Amino acid sequence: MRFKFLCALALVLALSSSSFAAGNLAFIPDIRDSQVMPPNNYICQTMLVGNKLITFRSWLDIPYVSNPVEPEYHRLNVYIPEEYFHEGGTINGYTAKTAPILMPNGVGGYMPGRAFVPANDMRHGGPNIALAALAHGYVVIAPAIRGRTLEHGKAPALIVDYKAAVRWVRHNKDKLPAGDTEKIISDGLSAGGALSSLLGATGNAKDYEPYLKAIGASEERDDIFASVVYCPITDLDHADMPYEWVFNGVNTYHLGPAREMDENMKAASEALKKAFPAYLNSLSLKGYTLDENGNGTFRDFIEGLYISAAQKALDAGENVLGLDWLTVKDGKVIAADLAKYAVWATRMKAAPAFDSLNMASYENNEFADKHFTEYSFTHSTAQKPAMADEAVIRLMNPLNFIGVEGVDTAKHWRIRHGVKDRDTSLAVPAILALKLRDAGYDADVAAVWGVPHDGNYDLPELFEWIDSICK
């Protein structure tokens, strides 16, 4: 009752503030004030989560840079649980001072990403991550992010924006009514997972500075505490190789109507599969290698991730029997066969999976309709093949920044990939995790049974992990 009264009072204050245009009540944020959290321009919202009413305050559409080249996207939303506005208010042991700040991004397909809005979207049978996080006691700050279809949205725009949003949060450390700015956690899936991993990997890396300056980002740190990564479409300049390491020999692809790969694609598959062991070995991952046939401890690691996923599902009472790629004996999953797995999972993309020969993939578009690998550039079937700027390709790959002097990579990582995911090879998130571990970071990586290309489907477990690193 008290909350409702305070919220109503706040609304009256907000309506009387000068930022509201009289007449149509449209909220018109002042671009010149872009670096500042507006104190009173919030609305109160109450939503049902399970059988509990959750009340929170929402600041919407705050510009987060002073030179917003895409003003529709250079904005973020701040959501804070109502409890934190009241003396002694706590949720799950968090207070206004200690609550972690979750910054989910809504990027998919390297397209522009809208700011997350708390909702019972029911995608996974209940609230989305923003609403569930508020109910759990986190502060949520959700930036919109530029993407490849905008005039100013090509690589590396998306990571520049995510960093700028983090800097905005730090710039407003003393103005934010709640949230620990040293506990910022990113989250995303697919291209958004790649983005989350980039933000986590590249904290304070100088290389992005000119881009940040150009959009008028705050001069603040942009390192974060933890990175949550689902099925990341990342390591773009190498990911074609592990895709073929897994799917070579499966010649029908399913992006669009099911089709057979043509001779160029099959040749690419052969060449890329052969090239993968040398790439993997060049990373010098401690204890993980491949021989020239693609066998070895790294393959064992990948098969082991599938075995663990199946075992967890089996222990939870799910049926994992009857699959020719998985061996189960006496309630124990004892083997997974990657070659048979590929036949079962089916191939989604023709070879090369990311840097497409005709230069028409999402990723080619992200790199301004250019190639970004030597193989596809030299074997291009496009009318006017072009190669993306090497420096831009570098800025899009988190692996280039992990363990590098002067870069503040996030300490904690949770990386998940569905067992049914064929958008990229499980080797991609696995390499990310191993590289992080080798550099001394805490990287929790797992494949998840029954899950396709998706994210934010295991919020109770995710929040348990966040609580374990924050408390």
The residues binding ligand DHB (CB under 6 A) are 108-110, 190-191, 233, 362, 423
* Backbone φ, ψ for residue 5 (5° rounding): -65, -45
CB of residue 418 vs ligand DHB: minimum separation in angstroms?
A: 12
| Chain center to CA of 316 | 27
Nearer to ligand DHB, 110 or 162 (CB): 110
Nearer to ligand DHB, 233 or 470 (CB): 233
Q: Give the helix, strand, coil percentages of the chain, each rounded to 5.
A: 35, 20, 50
CB of residue 155 vs ligand DHB: minimum separation in angstroms?
A: 13
DSSP H or E stretch at residue 345: helix 338-345
CB of residue 148 vs ligand DHB: minimum separation in angstroms?
A: 10
CB–CB of 395/208 below 8 Å?
A: yes
Nearer to ligand DHB, 29 or 108 (CB): 108
State how far the alpha carbon of 259 is from the alpha carbons of 239, 247, 249, in Å. Answer: 22, 15, 14
Query: Among 167, 211, 451, which Cα is nearest to 310's?
Result: 451
Nearer to ligand DHB, 73 or 288 (CB): 73
Token pair of 242 as six digits:
């592990």
Nearer to ligand DHB, 171 or 370 (CB): 370
Is the C-alpha dihedral spanning 141, 142, 143, 147 positive or negative? positive
- Strands 226-230, 75-81: pairing is unpaired
CB of residue 366 vs ligand DHB: minimum separation in angstroms?
A: 8
For 176-283, where are the E strands, in sequence order? Answer: 184-189, 226-230, 252-253, 259-260
CB of residue 153 vs ligand DHB: minimum separation in angstroms?
A: 14
CB of residue 255 vs ligand DHB: minimum separation in angstroms?
A: 8
CB of residue 133 vs ligand DHB: minimum separation in angstroms?
A: 21
State how far the alpha carbon of 465 is from the alpha carbons of 86, 89, 367, 468, in Å. Answer: 27, 23, 34, 5
CB of residue 125 vs ligand DHB: minimum separation in angstroms?
A: 21
Nearer to ligand DHB, 109 or 296 (CB): 109
Nearer to ligand DHB, 212 or 233 (CB): 233
Q: Taking every pair of C-alpha atoms in the chain, what is the biggest distance, in angstroms?
A: 72
CB of residue 201 vs ligand DHB: minimum separation in angstroms?
A: 18
Chain position whose Cβ is nearest to ligand DHB: 190
Round to whole Å and give the CA distance between 187 and 108: 12
Round to whole Å and give the CA distance between 441 and 444: 10
Half-sphere exposure of 370 (CA within 13 A, CB side): 15
Round to whole Å and give the CA distance between 416 and 450: 12
CB of residue 339 vs ligand DHB: minimum separation in angstroms?
A: 22
For 212-283, where are the E strands, in sequence order? Answer: 226-230, 252-253, 259-260
Nearer to ligand DHB, 110 or 377 (CB): 110
Nearer to ligand DHB, 100 or 418 (CB): 418
Round to whole Å and give the CA distance between 102 and 185: 5
Nearer to ligand DHB, 82 or 366 (CB): 366
3-state class (DSSP) for residue 448: strand
